[in-house]
Amino acid sequence: MGIENDIGKVLCDKNKTISIAESLTGGLLCGKLVNFPGISKVLLEGVVSYSIESKIKRLGVKSKTIEEFSDVSSETAIEMARGIAKTSGSNIGISTTGVAGPSGEPLGLVYIGFYIDGDSSFIEKKFSGERQEIRNKAVEASLKALYDKIKGID
């Protein structure tokens, strides 16, 4: 049993809904949460928003944010998390954006955005490794940070 089970239990016990917007992780994060039996009570949706256009149209990321800070930025991650929470009606939104490679700079840079009951935050990580390794590390970091953030909420 992984951390996704702890997350699922906390979300179900506290009746907190969650939605996920993924770019870098391409659905891996949502897939991990789906491992928890009963997650359907609280997981409203997961969206793979890989293109800039999708981030703008589907999640409501401002084009000005992307122009000013890029699509791999804390600002974009926060707007993605806020956008998925608001459009789905969930208490919690989480997002991932970053550079997994094999090319691109800065390789391994990852932003994880959170929107929890109206409060926005992010974490920044830098991972090394091949593309899939970076993506997997981003999922694990996202799950750990999510658990740390939700275990104490009411």
Strands, DSSP E only, in the chain?
A: 18-22, 43-48, 92-98, 109-116, 119-126
Domain that holds residue 134: 3-150
Q: What angle do CA 9, 78, 29 make, to 5 degrees?
A: 40
Q: Token digits for 25?
A: 């992780």
Radius of gyration over every alpha carbon of the chain, rounded to an integer in angstroms = 14
Entry pTM: 0.96
Total number of domains constituting the chain: 1
- Are 12 and 92 within 8 A, CB to CB? no
pLDDT tens per residue across span 118-138: 999 999 999 999 999 999 999
pLDDT tens per residue across span 3-53: 999 999 999 999 999 999 999 999 999 999 999 999 999 999 999 999 999
At residue 123, the 3 state secondary structure works out as strand
pLDDT tens per residue across span 49-84: 999 999 999 999 999 999 999 999 999 999 999 999
Q: What is the CATH number of the domain that holds 101?
A: 3.90.950.20
